[in-house]
Amino acid sequence: MSSTGYLQYTMRTVVHCGAGSIIRIPALFEGLGAKRVLLLSDAGLEQVGIVDQVVRAFNAGSSGTNPALAGVFTGVAPDAACDTVNEALRYAREVAADAILAVGGGSVMDAAKGVKYALHHNLTDIRDAIQAGIKLESWPNARKMDIHHIAVPTTAGTGAEVTPGAVLYNEEAGIKGNLAVPFIEADMAVLDANLTLGLPPHITASTGMDALTHALETVASPGANHFTDAHAIVSAQLVERNLATAVNDGRNVDARSSMLQASTMACNAFLNALNAMPVHNCAHAFGAMFHIPHGDANAVLLPIVMEELRDYYLPNAARLAQSLNLNVVGQSADDQLDAVITRLRNLLAETGQADTFARFNIPAESMEKLVMAVASDPVGLFYPIPPEKIVAIATRAMG
């Protein structure tokens, strides 16, 4: 945990949580002072009818004083690719939007943040903001953005609805760039478990492991503190208790709601403890090079990275075990960490997830480029993984 004696904890987003709570969206925008709302989502959510659900809720709540739904953009690509962020940005200007309603998973949430940042700074290409790989701003240089913003997550994984960070895929450079800027997070987040009831088991599982990775990397982070612990430890405990139920009984609203809340808390804690994140470091590289979904990447890598980087995790072994509801009192740190890794592997099995990337058929000759990708990923600056350890992690992960 942090020993400097100073910490900053931010959670600016107001959370509204409850099954059916999307019906409140028009009134929430009205309270924010929005006039013209742009709904951002993706084609998959449009196809399964979730976008229509939100539009209907918006129309049902409309009145003479409510803001107008100025347009719907469902072209957000996986990994929040910069080209589609720029397309959404152009569309936002075409419809004169002064507010953003982001409905979707992490890619949609991050794309919305990219659009918001670009509108505020009069950019036409979001790549201009992430040319160095990561864009870090801080208060007081970073100021509130006059673009009203509500986020509605449809997966319980990224928690991006409440965080001042975004990961955007720069297709031209072939890397994932990062925005870490105060005020790009949503003003409000609406956690409606009903929107996650139709989520397929494999997506429920992988996004849940994404949330768990956020929580556990926070617990182990050198930047952890009592505030981040309060969210990260409880979040991980909720995932450990509820993920298998959400996967195997997808209509269980209580489990779905617990997972949404866990996801939101985990990522908020993660960004507030921003420091070493070796699992995400490796996941970014595998994702960018081989288009492995982020949740799948974290699920495979989490126990492997813990085993290969034992010295990093051992000082927090007891806290990690507590986070997974394990009773390891009196055991050595080595035994505690072994118990954590075993529970993670069992959780993968219980939720039908793979423990390697074998199904992606990653060529063995890509190892050198993969090592470079991990070493050059922007978040690797916090905790550089030795090349021999990258090889060991990648070899095991590739199956």
Cα 133 to Cα 255: distance, rounded to the nearest angstrom: 37
Confidence of residue 111 (pLDDT cuts 50, 70, 90): very high
Which pLDDT score, from 0 to 100, does residue 382 have?
93
pTM (predicted TM-score) = 0.93
The CATH number assigned to the domain with range 21-191 reads 3.40.50.1970
Please give the average per-residue pLDDT across 361-384, as a whole number. 94
What average pLDDT does the chain have?
94
Cα 394 to Cα 98: distance, rounded to the nearest angstrom: 45
Per-residue pLDDT tens digits for 336-359? 999 999 999 999 999 999 999 999
CB 394 within 8 A of CB 290: no
Please give the average per-residue pLDDT across 48-62, as a whole number. 85
How many residues appear in the chain? 399
Question: CATH classification of 201-398 is 1.20.1090.10, yes or no?
Answer: yes
Cα 39 to Cα 311: distance, rounded to the nearest angstrom: 46
Q: 42 Cβ partners below 8 Å, 6+ apart?
A: 74, 75, 76, 77, 78, 104, 105, 107, 108
Per-residue pLDDT tens digits for 168-178? 989 888 888 88
Confidence of residue 211 (pLDDT cuts 50, 70, 90): very high
Which pLDDT score, from 0 to 100, does residue 177 have?
87
Which pLDDT score, from 0 to 100, does residue 62 have?
54
> Residue 141: is its pLDDT beyond 90?
no
Domain ranges of the chain: 21-191, 201-398
Which pLDDT score, from 0 to 100, does residue 8 have?
85
CB 328 within 8 A of CB 339: yes
Cα 82 to Cα 177: distance, rounded to the nearest angstrom: 10
Q: Is 8 exposed, middle or buried (0-12, 13-18, 19+ CB in 10 A)?
A: exposed
